[in-house]
A = this chain, B = another copy of it.
Amino acid sequence: MSKLRVAVIGAGGRIGSEAVRAVQAADDLELVATLGRGDRLETLTEAGAQVAVELTHPDAVMDNLEFCVRNGIHGVVGTTGWTDERLAQLRTWLDAAPGTGTLIAPNFSIGAVLTMRFAQQAARFFESVEVIELHHPNKADAPSGTATRTAQLIAAARQEAGSAPQPDATSTALEGARGADVDGVRVHSVRLRGLLAHQEVLLGGAGETLTLRHDSLHHSSFMPGILLGVRRVVTVPGLTFGLEHFLDLD
A contacts, CB < 8 Å to B: 109-112, 114-115, 118, 121-122, 125-128, 130, 132, 134, 137-143, 148, 166-182, 186-196, 202-224, 247, 249-250
Contact = CB atoms under 8 A, between A and B. Distances in A.
B109 A114 contact: no
Nearest to A189: B177
Mostly, the A contact residues are mixed
A177 B217 contact: no
Contacts of A215: 194, 208-211
Given A130-B191, A141-B173, A173-B189, 7 more contacts: A111-B205, A111-B209, A134-B202, A143-B173, A186-B190, A208-B215, A213-B213
Contacts of A109: 208
A123 to B, nearest CB: 11
Contact of A207 (B137, B173, B194): B194
A137 B171 CA distance: 11
A138 B170 CA distance: 7
Contacts of A167: 137-138, 191, 193
A75 to B, nearest CB: 22
A103 to B, nearest CB: 16
A25 to B, nearest CB: 11
